[in-house]
Copies of this chain bind each other. A is one copy, B any other.
Amino acid sequence: MHLVVLAGGVGGARFLRGVRAHARDVRARVTAVVNTSDDISLHGLRVCPDLDSVMYGLGGAADPERGWGRADETWTVKEELRAYGAQPDWFGLGDRDLATHLVRTTMLTAGYPLSAVTEALCHRWQPGVRLLPATDDRLETHVVVSSDDPQADGGARSEAIHFQEWWIRHRAKLPADRFVFVGAESAKPAPGVTEAIANADAVLLAPSNPVVSIAPILAVSGIRDALRTAGGPVVGVSPIIGGAPVRGMADACLAVVGTECSAAGVAGLYGARAEDGLLDTWLVDATEDADTRVDGVEVRAVPLWMSDDDATAAIVAAALAPT
């Protein structure tokens, strides 16, 4: 049995721990297709927040409190960079984490694709899941923001900033017009991605941010088509419980794309595979959203709080239960 999961970072990592637990029970193997569109170059280092969150999370190295980065982290390099006045200073690069970026950047500079680099890094962490970046090519989420500018036409100026600047520096508070997935048209799926989706016994959409974690994966040319024509069912897990995101600031992103912050709203973004969309099945939270209905999609209501790996594995089991 082969399960494929499309996932973002921290929430994706938590979900994948449950997928892995379930997969051990049913002797399945798991491939995670991970978002790369919030990757960023900082101080000359290539940082892949979602891949690292998944790698650390599955490798038992993630900080349990912060959710991102390494456990037992120290911040000496960051303090020193600040003392030099090096910009940007709003992104937290821990010392342990930094070694990952050094190894990755060295390998990328030597010509290895990100998929090969990720495989090499995973030799250390043994995540128990095959991690594939959605693409080896450039794909970057930019956010088009507007700000008052008396000098500009209409008194406002529009500019695109890197997603991380909007997300981390501005805490998603800067009014945003839209997201642009730079490079999506020409980016190709990383080796193995479409094959994995095509041949999977089931494809799961993790309860990650639908707008800036799952949508950029789907924007890579060929991935949406692979899902549309996949042999197994496509099952999504709602990232919204009772009108609020399980974690993170997905509500801010949903507002930008004009989608209601609800289980039904997110399902509408993905659409029904029976029509022009992706979903065969949609898991909503039984305690809050049990009444959700989505045209053309089988809705299953189960408890969606990923309180621990067992609870998450139960969600995965429910997602994979026969229709």
Contact = CB atoms under 8 A, between A and B. Distances in A.
Interface of A: 43-45, 74, 76-77, 80-81, 83-86, 95-96, 98-100, 102-103, 105-106, 109, 121, 124
16 contacts: A43-B103, A43-B106, A44-B102, A44-B105, A45-B102, A74-B76, A74-B95, A76-B95, A76-B96, A77-B102, A80-B96, A80-B98, A80-B99, A81-B102, A95-B95, A98-B98
A84 B121 contact: yes
A81 B121 CA distance: 11
Nearest to A94: B76
A80 B76 CA distance: 14
Nearest to A76: B95
Nearest to A80: B99
Nearest to A73: B76
Contacts of A86: 99, 102-103, 106
A109 B42 CA distance: 12
Contacts of A81: 99, 102-103
A101 to B, nearest CB: 10
Nearest to A99: B80
Given A44-B44, A77-B77, A84 B96 contact: no
B84 A99 contact: yes
Contacts of A102: 43-45, 77, 81, 86
Given A44-B109, A76-B76, A109-B44, A84 B98 contact: no
A194 B73 CA distance: 47
A76 B206 CA distance: 33
A224 to B, nearest CB: 35
Given A77-B99, A80-B95, A80-B98, 11 more contacts: A43-B106, A74-B74, A74-B76, A74-B95, A76-B96, A76-B99, A77-B96, A77-B102, A83-B124, A84-B103, A85-B124
A44 B81 CA distance: 17
Given A44-B44, A74-B74, A95-B74, A80 B100 contact: yes
B76 A106 contact: no
Contacts of A103: 43, 81, 84, 86
B95 A77 contact: yes
A103 B45 CA distance: 11
A164 to B, nearest CB: 17
Given A44-B44, A106-B44, A98 B77 contact: yes
A139 to B, nearest CB: 22
Contacts of A109: 44
A77 B99 CA distance: 5
